[in-house]
Structure 1
Amino acid sequence: MTAPARQRSHHITDWDPEDREAWDNGNAKIANRNLIWSVICEHVGFSVWSLFSVLALFMGPAYGISLDQKFVIAATATFFGACLRIPYTQATARFGGRNWAIFSAVVLLIPTGLTMMLMLNPGDFGFGWFLTVAALTGLGGGNFASSMTNINAFFPQRLKGWALGLNAGGGNIGVPAVQLVGLAVISVASDRPEIVCAIYLVLLALAGVGAAIYMDNLDHQTSSGKAMIDCLKYRDTWLISLLYIGTFGSFIGFGFAFSQVLNISFTASGEAKPALAAAQIAWLGPLLGSLARPIGGKLADKVGGGRVTMYCFAAMVAASSILVVAGMSADANNHKIGGAQLTGFIVGFILLFLISGVANGSVYKIIPAVFEAKAKANKGLNALGKITWSRSMSGALIGIAGAFGGLGGVAINLVLRESYKQNKSATTAFWIFLAFYVVAGVVTWWFYARNEKATNALAAESDSADETDEAPSGTTVVA
């Protein structure tokens, strides 16, 4: 039963989302309330993580940062955000979902304040300072893993695709949101980049306070270091991580790089104000990708995560082909970029954002489904043991796959940097992206899509068999 709100101490015991009666009698409202504030905290975290994707457009010659160094700064932020997803996955089990949400929002005040310091003093701080602060913004990337692990524990299997997709999509919108803030600042005060930082200092404070008031800790958070080590023993962990490099890696990698690629392209086309032109477009791709993520989760709930992901990779091959054709055309014209090539770059990237967003949601549907099936096939576990093991392993894989996905974003920025450095164009990078999507599509088909219907039918049979086992009551107590 649920205690009155005035008596809440934000600690919930005996939570079982699969208990439909308890879910319909109040648990759904509790889960949705936590989901809303999880989205808000993760959203602001993504924005802070993406700060330098926007501020790079403000960094003119006075800052002493070259084009090559800007890609390295973006890669640094992406790299540390990816690595931090591993410990952040453990944080909700150790400290509580609510407690960690508060901390993860408040701690981001540090890199945001330091970024403001750098932008207020052009030329006074060297490249090393920018790398250090970019690394600290990676704390915002870690928020994703703790948030997803927390929400995974709140929702039943039948709604995980939607809930995880909405949580991740709402967080991902932090990328276009900060770019829209940057566009507004460039439009009215192009010499005042510190305004962007000031806005996020306020939003971080609001997110921390909201999490403190409205979120809860669950007593059965089961993610652990041992689970992450055990998770590495399964082939699916490595395969799903590979797929997530292609989906989320594409989203976050292009999220950091798109504005710079546009800036370079508009400069080559002779645009008078390339930074403003780039800022006017750069936000659109991440926004569409973020909005598409819950759709991917919802489609995966109905059709199957494997099949949706496979179709997405096929579509990403087609979208990257547009980039290859546009790049080859510009290269053949002595790297001069005309209207047709610009259109190709914009359309190709926006399609990649949109499709990768759908695939982000569908891949995360595969994760709980894989371990749910493995748990049901384990005759040595009772109903409670199966639930606990499945949650623990799913939470561990969420962190692992999230980290690998972030590293995919690092690779995208470094591949683009090397392509521009060696060839004065991104065409070689576009070919590499296309080849990777082909490989990822084949892997998805072979391991997850082709037998998905049979696997789902087997899981349904196991569900019927499990009804005879003793399951936990699922009563929710808010102390």
Structure 2
Amino acid sequence: MTAPRTGGRWIERWDPEDETFWKESGERIARRNLVYSVLSEHIGFSIWTLWSVMVLFMGPEYGIDPAGKFFLIGTATFVGAFVRIPYTFAVARFGGRNWTVFSALMLLAPTVAALAVMEPGTSYSTFLLVAALTGVGGGNFASSMTNINAFFPLRRKGWALGLNAGGGNIGVPVVQLAGLLVIGTAGAGHPRLLLAAYLPLIVLAAVLAALRMDNLAPVRNDTGAVKEALRDRHTWIMSFLYVGTFGSFIGYSFAFGLVLQTQFGRTPLQAASLTFVGPLLGSLIRPVGGLLADRFGGARITLATFVAMAAATGLVILASAQKSLPVFLVGFVALFVLSGLGNGSTYKMIPGIFQAKALAGGMSGEAAAAYGRRLSGASMGLIGAVGALGGLGINLVFREAFLSTGSGTPAFVTFLGFYAVCCLVTWAVYLRRPMATTAPAADDSVKPQLTSV
């Protein structure tokens, strides 16, 4: 089944929809690759969101106001979103295992750079450049999800993609907890301790990926699939919905501690002791969103999530206006949990949508499954990149709100309106008039409807 090629271990035949193949060897190999993919993506998320912690170390001696700090973390968000596009296609060009090793080692650059410059007196432009470097950690998500999508059959994608993404997302609260540990023990004047701790972890992730992961030879560069995905309206509709789920998760993860400091006057230690809770719960529940989507349909779970996110945002607006920190925390943490659920359900929808289109077009069986894998793999990087830009939008809206009013309340009003639009789009496109398939009745095992994606 395997054949050596230059640059790493390659698997020549891969057919996860074949139940015999899956039971005999496919599931074991897929699970092994999933484990080490999660580890590498986890470290990538930690490095990408590093500046959500670094700004907590930056006291008055750094001479950077809240608006400048929001722009720092917004820069990291933007670069992380942009590099997701080439990272997606790198899997097919170089192999999933090979690219995981390389992308893990790339995390050394922003970590070492931050280690060198993190001190008062460093210019703001230097901080901006180093924050931009951490964007390579955001790219790891796109390549990891594209790679794992190819390993698992459609019936298991919700679980596998949810677990892969959730395990990666946990890198956000972990780096925040590590920052809390440093601030609580050594003080806010020692950010380099946190940075130094990540250097051996990065090397470990790269070494384990090299030793334990595989490349899939059937996953090839397919410019036709990319062009087709770009032309397909569902790529852009799902990108918009992913702005609402993942964009919220990553944007709030970057901004939470800074909002607590700026709006509620929390000290760095007090802010750090609270910021990890929301991202942790949102990460842990992401696989649950995938499982619920597998069972009840991704569109239904996504719509319910957006409705609940709108309600939670209303609670946050009330708490923000009344300056009630306990109520604010309840609403904000609820937003993290709900965005985590929505992350799992929206990503489950992607492969199902394209397989449903194949069935509607007259394909069946493995041909429809292969079409779904081909188009979903090409679209995932685009959807992930656009979705991550939502995080940039959140930080820019926060920056403008605090500049103009000194409060985050106008920002939350904006987010409430956006979630209302997401509800309308999800219902109108995927629930009100679902696309009917024309697959033969005998092919029920691979006949998803858009209402069940």
Alignment TM class, shorter chain as reference:
over 0.9
Partners of 1:345 and 1:181 lie apart in 2 by: 24
For the structure 1 residues 411 and 377, does the alpha-carbon distance in structure 2 shift closer, same or farther, using more than 3 Å as the test? Answer: same
Q: Which moved more, 1:343-352 or 1:102-111?
A: 343-352
Is 1:220 the counterpart of 2:205 in the alignment? no
1:428-463 CA-to-partner distances (Å, cap 9, x unmatched) read: 0010000100110111111113455x85x8668373
Cα deviation, residue 2, structure 1: 7.5
Partners of 2:446 and 2:194 lie apart in 1 by: 53
For the structure 1 residues 178 and 460, does the alpha-carbon distance in structure 2 shift closer, same or farther, using more than 3 Å as the test? Answer: farther
Judge conservation of contact 1:148–1:164 (CA < 8 Å) in 2.
yes
Higher relative contact order (CA 8 A, sep 6+): 1
| Counterpart AA for 1:12 | I
Give 3-state SS (helix, strand or coil) of 2:11's partner: strand
Partners of 2:431 and 2:96 lie apart in 1 by: 33
1:332 maps to what in 2?
Answer: none
* Correspondence 1:330-409 to 2 at 5 A: 337=323, 341-379=324-362, 385-409=367-391
Partners of 2:8 and 2:68 lie apart in 1 by: 48
Structure 1 unaligned regions, length at least 5: 330-336, 468-479
Is 1:209 the counterpart of 2:207 in the alignment? yes
| Counterpart AA for 1:67 | P
2:40 maps to what in 1?
Answer: 41
Partners of 1:391 and 1:211 lie apart in 2 by: 23
For the structure 1 residues 304 and 187, does the alpha-carbon distance in structure 2 shift closer, same or farther, using more than 3 Å as the test? Answer: same
2:419 maps to what in 1?
Answer: 437
Judge conservation of contact 1:223–1:395 (CA < 8 Å) in 2.
no
Partners of 2:26 and 2:8 lie apart in 1 by: 16
For the structure 1 residues 279 and 95, does the alpha-carbon distance in structure 2 shift closer, same or farther, using more than 3 Å as the test? Answer: same
1:297 maps to what in 2?
Answer: 290
Cα deviation, residue 464, structure 1: 4.8
For the structure 1 residues 282 and 464, does the alpha-carbon distance in structure 2 shift closer, same or farther, using more than 3 Å as the test? Answer: closer
Equivalences, count: 444
Q: Which moved more, 1:33-42 or 1:64-73?
A: 64-73
Partners of 2:302 and 2:290 lie apart in 1 by: 10
Match of 2:126 among 129, 135, 144: 129
2:104 maps to what in 1?
Answer: 105
2:71 maps to what in 1?
Answer: 72
Partners of 1:58 and 1:114 lie apart in 2 by: 16
Cα deviation, residue 26, structure 1: 1.7
Cα deviation, residue 229, structure 1: 2.4
For the structure 1 residues 459 and 84, does the alpha-carbon distance in structure 2 shift closer, same or farther, using more than 3 Å as the test? Answer: farther
1:26 maps to what in 2?
Answer: 25
> Which runs of 4 or more aligned residues in structure 1 lie more than 3 Å from their structure 2 counterparts after TM superposition?
222-226, 381-388, 457-462, 464-467
For the structure 1 residues 22 and 423, does the alpha-carbon distance in structure 2 shift closer, same or farther, using more than 3 Å as the test? Answer: same
Which of these two proteins has the greater Rg computed from alpha carbons?
A: 1
What TM-score do the two structures reach when normalised by structure 1?
0.89
1:334 maps to what in 2?
Answer: none
For the structure 1 residues 167 and 149, does the alpha-carbon distance in structure 2 shift closer, same or farther, using more than 3 Å as the test? Answer: same
2:232 maps to what in 1?
Answer: 234
| Counterpart AA for 2:21 | A
CA RMSD of aligned residues (A): 2.1
1:315 maps to what in 2?
Answer: 308
Partners of 2:386 and 2:366 lie apart in 1 by: 30
Give 3-state SS (helix, strand or coil) of 1:425's partner: coil
Cα deviation, residue 61, structure 1: 2.0
Partners of 2:255 and 2:395 lie apart in 1 by: 6
Q: Which moved more, 1:191-200 or 1:87-96?
A: 191-200
- Report sequence identity in percent: 53
2:451 maps to what in 1?
Answer: none
| Counterpart AA for 1:323 | V
Cα deviation, residue 9, structure 1: 6.0
Judge conservation of contact 2:360–2:438 (CA < 8 Å) in 1.
no
Judge conservation of contact 1:297–1:365 (CA < 8 Å) in 2.
yes
Judge conservation of contact 2:364–2:440 (CA < 8 Å) in 1.
no
1:162-192 CA-to-partner distances (Å, cap 9, x unmatched) read: 0000000000000001000000000001121
Is 1:427 the counterpart of 2:409 in the alignment? yes
Cα deviation, residue 382, structure 1: 7.2
Partners of 1:144 and 1:157 lie apart in 2 by: 20
Cα deviation, residue 135, structure 1: 0.9
Judge conservation of contact 1:376–1:462 (CA < 8 Å) in 2.
no
1:158 maps to what in 2?
Answer: 155
Judge conservation of contact 1:53–1:256 (CA < 8 Å) in 2.
yes
Match of 2:392 among 398, 403, 410: 410
Match of 2:259 among 241, 244, 261: 261
| Counterpart AA for 1:392 | R
Cα deviation, residue 407, structure 1: 0.5
Judge conservation of contact 2:229–2:375 (CA < 8 Å) in 1.
yes
